[in-house]
Amino acid sequence: MPVKVGIPRALLYYYYYPLWKTFFEGLGAQVILSSPSTKGILTDGLRFAVDEICLPVKLAFGHVLDLIGKVDYIFLPRLISIRRNEYICPKFLGLPDMVRRLAGIPPLIDVNVNRYRGDNELCQVIKEVGRLFTRNNFKIWLTCRRSLKVQKHYFRLLQLGLMPAEALAVLENRVKNEPLAAPGKITVALLGHPYNIYDPFINMNIIGRLRAMGANVITAENLQEQTVVSYAARLPKKLFWTLGQRMIGAALHYLERSDVNGMIHVAAFGCGPDSMTGELIERRARAAGMPFLNLTLDEHTGEAGIITRLEAFLDMVRWKTAGTVEVI
């Protein structure tokens, strides 16, 4: 029986799942993903996580708990930096050590991912993980190369305008890759951490709702990295967080695009960087005359509040672009 490696459907799963999956499967392991977020998963996460951390990390706890008993290993890399001279939030860094005390937890694959000073360390890390499954270094190297290729394909799909769930469906051949229809009359840029905006449970299906209300949704992941980086460089001082940089870079880019009619920033309760990037984006959106909405997600958020705000926001955007209120 193949070794089962569990991956929590949380945090940077939304960025790197294709890479991780291809790598582990290439080495003969079976990848088991935690179930999509539900009330049950969140409740478990809230119960076992420490109070001080942010909502997304609490949710990640729930996903780790969901995997307990189903897998031989849980892949939970200690993410320190995913780009040179930038950092990932320290709460990510602490996650493997926070979940380690959970009862019944299988061994963690908690290697350090630190690209702050370049990629030298990373090669060592990949080898270390690969060694758990095979002694064949060449096989590890080949699998790694193939995984990076799949990952590149995934990023390209996102840049074509797909959302992560849609891009994964294409990668896994569940749907055909067809040009994306953009039927809405207005386009809204949705900015936020990937694990907030792409998890339909925690954000109460913002993307689905916006689309159902007739708006096209675009996100930071739909942009090429180069675009995001060059726009983010316009800030007087560089932000150290990679994800925050992405949001700011995308915001500054979308503020200049005439086909973008509105901007929504999604923040998670308890997220320090969000409170900072949200404010930065809001100020610039206002100065540019872009309709802007800030949504904060927390475990108590009622659907009614989100629906009212989204509806009112789209009314405002339509009112501005078309000159009338949409009544039906």
Partner 1 sequence: MIGYLGIDVGSVSTNLVFFDDCGVIRKSIYLRTRGKPIDTVQKGLKELGANLPSGTKVRGVGTTGSGRHLTGVIVGADAVKNEITAHAVASSLLVPGVQSILEIGGQDSKIIILRNGVVSDFAMNTVCAAGTGSFLDQQAGRLGIPIEKFGELALQARSPVRIAGRCAVFAESDMIHKQQMGCSLPDILAGLCDALVRNYLNNVGKGKEILAPVVFQGGVAANAGMVRAFEKALDLKVQVPSYFDVMGAVGAALLAREAVARKGASSFKGFEVADMDYQTGSFECSGCPNLCEVVEVSENDRVIARWGDRCSKWSNAVGAKIS
Binding site for partner 1 (CB under 8 A): 35, 38-41, 201, 205, 209, 212, 282, 286, 289, 291-292, 296, 298, 300, 304-305, 307-309, 311-313, 315-316, 319-320, 323-325, 327-328
Cα–Cα distance, 265 to 316 (Å, whole number): 16
CB 266 within 8 A of CB 196: yes
Query: What residue has token string 């064949």?
Result: 136
Residue 296 φ/ψ, nearest 5 degrees: -110, 130
Closer Cβ to partner 1, 28 or 214, answer by number: 214
298 Cβ neighbours under 8 A, 6+ residues apart: 55, 268, 269, 270
Least CB distance to partner 1 at residue 228 (A): 26
Shortest separation between residue 307's beta carbon and partner 1, angstroms:
5
In the complex with partner 1, the residue whose CB is nearer, 225 or 282, is 282
Task: Walk across the sheet containing 186-192 and list its strands.
Answer: 215-219, 186-192, 262-268, 292-297
Least distance CB 318 / partner 1 (angstroms) = 10
Q: Which lies closer to partner 1 via its Cβ, residue 157 or residue 255?
A: 255
Residue 320 CB, nearest distance to partner 1 (Å)?
5
Structure tokens at 149: 């290729």
- The residue (of 240 and 269) whose beta carbon lies closer to partner 1 is 269
Instruction: Say how far apart CA 111 and CA 122 lie, in whole Å.
Output: 10
Spatial neighbors of 249 by CB under 8 A, at least 6 apart, are: 220, 223, 227, 228, 229, 230, 231, 232, 233
Q: Which is nearer to partner 1, 233 or 307 (CB)?
A: 307
CB of 306 to partner 1, least distance (A): 10
| C-beta of 4 vs 320, nearer to partner 1 | 320
Q: Which residues pair with 186 in a beta bridge?
A: 215
Min CB(123)–partner 1 separation in Å: 40
**Shortest distance, CB of residue 169 to partner 1, whole angstroms?**
18
Cβ closest to partner 1, residue 171 vs residue 297: 297
Helices (H), 223-302: 225-232, 242-256, 272-288
